[in-house]
Amino acid sequence: MVGENGQGDPVSVRIAGLEAEVAGLRKALQTRTVIGQATGLIAAVQGLTPQQGFQLLVRMSQHHNVKLHSIAVKLVDLAGELGPRQAVRSVHLPVEPHERAEEVQWPGVDVVEAARQLVAAHEAAHRVDGAPADVRRQLADELTLAGQLLAERLADVGWLDDEPAV
Instruction: Output 119 or 156, whichever has higher pLDDT.
Output: 119
Q: For residue range 98-116, what is the model confidence (pLDDT) as tens digits?
A: 444 444 445 566 777 777 7
pLDDT for res 69: 87
Average pLDDT over residues 67-90: 82
pLDDT for res 5: 56
Distance CA 118, CA 142 (A): 9
Distance CA 116, CA 80 (A): 13
DSSP letter at 164 equals: P
Burial 70-94 (b: 16+ CB within 10 A, else e): ebbbbbbbbbeebebebbbbbbebb
Query: Among positive and negative, which fits the CA dihedral 30, 35, 37, 38?
Result: positive
Mean pLDDT for all residues in the chain: 76
Distance CA 79, CA 47 (A): 16
pLDDT for res 103: 42
Question: Quick check: pTM over 0.85?
Answer: no
pLDDT for res 98: 47
Over 60: is that where the pLDDT of 44 sits?
Answer: yes
pLDDT for res 95: 45
